[in-house]
Amino acid sequence: MEHFSLLWCLPSGLLILIVSARYCVGLDNESSPKPNFVLMMVDDLGIGDIGCYGNDTIRTPNIDKLALDGVKLSQHIAAAPLCTPSRAAFMTGRYALRSGLGAVGRVQVILFLGGSGGLPPSETTFAKLLQREGYTTAIVGKWHLGLNCESRNDHCHHPNNHGFNYFYGLPFTLFNDCKLGEGSDVLADIQLKLWNLTVLLGLGLLTLVCVHAAGLLEVSRMLMVLVALLWLLAFGVWYVPFRLHTWNCILMRNQEVVEQPMNLETLTERLVNEAEHFVERNQHKPFMLFLSLAHVHTPLFTSKGFAGKSKHGIYGDNVEEVDWVIGRMVNAIDRLNLSNRTLIYFTSDHGGFIEDSDAHGQKGGWNGIYRGGKAMGGWEGGIRVPGIFRWPGRLAAGKVIDEPTSLMDVYPTLVNLAGGQLPKDRVLDGHDLMPLMEGRTERSEHEFMFHYCGMYLNAVRWHPPGSDAIFKVHFFTPNFSPPGAGGCYEIGICMCHKEFVTYLDPPLLFNLATDPSESTPLSSETEPRYAEVLQRVSHAVEEHLQTLQPMPNQLSWENVLWRPWLQPCCGTFPFCSCSEANGTVPSAA
């Protein structure tokens, strides 16, 4: 017996040695068990603009190839139909109002870099958790989640303080103001009123001065000074939008403003180069890159090679340029032999902006068969976006998943894959996608999804267990204008509060599984489960509301309005101006 165990001791000892040696080798960076992540998000891209989602005239071969080689999600849902709240939810894995980014009134996104609202420092982004697992992280492109709190350089909302080792791009977003001559997105109608007020006050002041000078009437000096001050104030506020080009449209590298105003002509090329360089610099250790494109937000700008090439004007040219960017990023991963240990993700922050068009044609996207678009609350066109994951060797090629999934799912999926811990002190609204994508389960964990319009609960989606149905209940709908139109053409963008919406009692009910275009509301006559659905949903709403905690509103006027002392600036304020020399090679992380 003793001989027997001795005889066994030696080989098993050797085996342990070999296994542990291999384990150690397995931990070196060449065959690191931690996958890399490349996340690519387009701005305002409609689901109907992509070949693999049914478009047959726009050419998107690279995106289509990504879907062929990976998993395509057909019911991938943004947590909000607008940039700032959708991105906040994406970064935190939680509905935007949990971080105070749900709009109360007409301000629905961050409007000025010189405001104080943004993603609160108390939020933990997935990037921060990946850093804790040894990842090097970068965001290249658009942020739009705030910058400063109290002073020009505190950068309390800056990506570097939200888990990103490296930032190159737009702390704000692309806006019409960024291209001179395109008009203003921000408060254009208020600006007109202010102009009228300025003219009125100016005329009034002139009259007072003349009447006084001519000795027709004794006008008190106080009154003249008061009118003059009011005139100055109105003029000053009216003038602000003309400075937005310089104030909002800037590029930063980490904490430094490197270009102000930014040069759109070379922007795409510079963003892709930065993204590629980051991957090259970090290819031997785990990394996460978030390439957040400025395209296809207006003003549409197209690099030379793409102008006039598509069948859909400048908008189509933009989508085809996006496809080229995606192709270059995927090629970079493949060329570096990183494909088998890199999870690639492609999506859009929300649906296309269908109201955006002018004499030259459509400038916003196309949401396919889905009703509504950007900023239209719970209507499907504003929240159903493309969602593609590719990971050769781990995810089956060509798989299509029709179950409901959310952009908020990226958070737990990445953190789990990286071996990290999900936060236990707060509610997460996303679910790990790997079980679904690897086919270990057939059902999405999203039995209910809550669709917000600003901070107001607009609609609820219910995927009842054991059923294919996808019920959607709308509690209110945005008022389209002119009446009968498919969007808010008169104001330019829909809003979520009071006079801008119609409250519905009973609510509208659709079954997206049979009516994805939300064209025929169901009633107790046409849907046997009608009463049950309304009851289950109202119960779910009650439970959901109990998980919410009051948060300071980051989009209040007080937090949004421009303040000179918060304005990022290179050079001397207010004459901020600098430009990046071509071909600058970044030195950081």
Ligand X SMILES: *[C@@H]1O[C@H](CO)[C@@H](O)[C@H](O)[C@H]1NC(C)=O
Q: Which segment (76-84, 231-239, 312-320, 443-451) binds ligand X by CB under 6 A?
A: 312-320
Handedness of CA 579, 176, 319, 127 (dihedral sign): positive
Helix (H) or strand (E) holding 252: strand 251-253
Shortest distance in whole angstroms from residue 168 CB to ligand X: 18
Q: Which is nearer to ligand X, 49 or 323 (CB)?
A: 49
> Is 161 near ligand X (CB under 6 A)?
no
Q: Which amino acid is at 397?
A: A
Shortest distance in whole angstroms from residue 265 CB to ligand X: 8
Shortest distance in whole angstroms from residue 322 CB to ligand X: 12
For 395, how many CA atoms within 13 A lie in the half-sphere containing its CB? 29
| Distance from C-alpha of 211 to C-alpha of 255, rounded to nearest angstrom | 55
* Among positions 65, 87, 157, 312, the unique one binding ligand X when judged by CB under 6 A: 312
| Distance from C-alpha of 446 to C-alpha of 443, rounded to nearest angstrom | 8
> Is 284 near ligand X (CB under 6 A)?
yes
Record the tokens describing residue 448, joined without a space. Answer: 């209910």
Peptide bond into 286 cis (omega under 30): no
Asked if 381 and 387 touch (Cβ cutoff 8 Å), the reply is no
Ranges within 367-426 binding ligand X (CB under 6 A): 368, 392-393
Peptide bond into 482 cis (omega under 30): yes
Asked if 146 and 115 touch (Cβ cutoff 8 Å), the reply is yes
Residue of this chain nearest to ligand X (CB atom): 366
Instruction: Cite the DSSP H helix spans in 180-220.
Output: 188-213
Which phi and psi angles does 115 have, rounded to 5°?
A: -100, 175
Q: Which is nearer to ligand X, 253 or 451 (CB)?
A: 253
| Distance from C-alpha of 553 to C-alpha of 107, rounded to nearest angstrom | 11
Ranges within 326-355 binding ligand X (CB under 6 A): 336-337, 339-340
Q: Which is nearer to ligand X, 315 or 500 (CB)?
A: 315
* Among positions 316, 372, 377, 386, the unique one binding ligand X when judged by CB under 6 A: 316
CB atoms within 10 A of CB 59: 18
Q: Which amino acid is at 136?
A: T
Q: Which segment (308-316, 477-485, 503-511, 512-520) binds ligand X by CB under 6 A?
A: 308-316
Shortest distance in whole angstroms from residue 199 CB to ligand X: 40
Asked if 373 and 367 touch (Cβ cutoff 8 Å), the reply is yes
Active-site positions read: 83, 144
Q: Which is nearer to ligand X, 15 or 27 (CB)?
A: 27
# of chain residues touching ligand X (CB under 6 A): 26
CA distances from residue 583 to 255, 266, 332, 383 in whole angstroms, order as listed: 20, 10, 19, 37
Shortest distance in whole angstroms from residue 116 CB to ligand X: 35
| Distance from C-alpha of 535 to C-alpha of 471, rounded to nearest angstrom | 12
3-class secondary-structure state, position 53? helix
| Distance from C-alpha of 3 to C-alpha of 323, rounded to nearest angstrom | 69
Shortest distance in whole angstroms from residue 404 CB to ligand X: 22
| Distance from C-alpha of 254 to C-alpha of 278, rounded to nearest angstrom | 13
Handedness of CA 429, 435, 438, 443 (dihedral sign): negative
Q: Which segment (195-203, 310-318, 382-390, 471-479) binds ligand X by CB under 6 A?
A: 310-318
> Is 563 near ligand X (CB under 6 A)?
no
Q: Which is nearer to ligand X, 105 or 392 (CB)?
A: 392
Q: Which amino acid is at 401?
A: I
Q: Which is nearer to ligand X, 340 or 520 (CB)?
A: 340
Shortest distance in whole angstroms from residue 285 CB to ligand X: 5
Q: Which segment (126-134, 246-254, 288-296, 363-371) binds ligand X by CB under 6 A?
A: 363-371
CA distances from residue 399 to 69, 331, 388, 391, 562 in whole angstroms, order as listed: 8, 21, 10, 12, 47
Q: Which is nearer to ligand X, 53 or 462 (CB)?
A: 53
CB atoms within 10 A of CB 335: 12
Shortest distance in whole angstroms from residue 333 CB to ligand X: 10
Q: Which segment (22-30, 60-68, 185-193, 397-405) binds ligand X by CB under 6 A?
A: 22-30
x/- map, 32-61, ligand X, by CB under 6 A = ----------------xx----xxxxx---
Q: Which is nearer to ligand X, 389 or 452 (CB)?
A: 389
Asked if 168 and 586 touch (Cβ cutoff 8 Å), the reply is yes
Shortest distance in whole angstroms from residue 358 CB to ligand X: 15
CA angle (446 as vertex; 548, 100 as ends), nearest 5: 25
Q: Which is nearer to ligand X, 244 or 354 (CB)?
A: 354
* Among positions 365, 372, 373, 568, the unique one binding ligand X when judged by CB under 6 A: 365
Shortest distance in whole angstroms from residue 98 CB to ligand X: 33
Q: Which is nearer to ligand X, 336 or 491 (CB)?
A: 336
Asked if 363 and 356 touch (Cβ cutoff 8 Å), the reply is yes
Q: Which residues bind ligand X (CB under 6 A)?
A: 28-30, 48-49, 54-58, 284-285, 312, 315-316, 336-337, 339-340, 365-366, 368, 392-393, 581-582
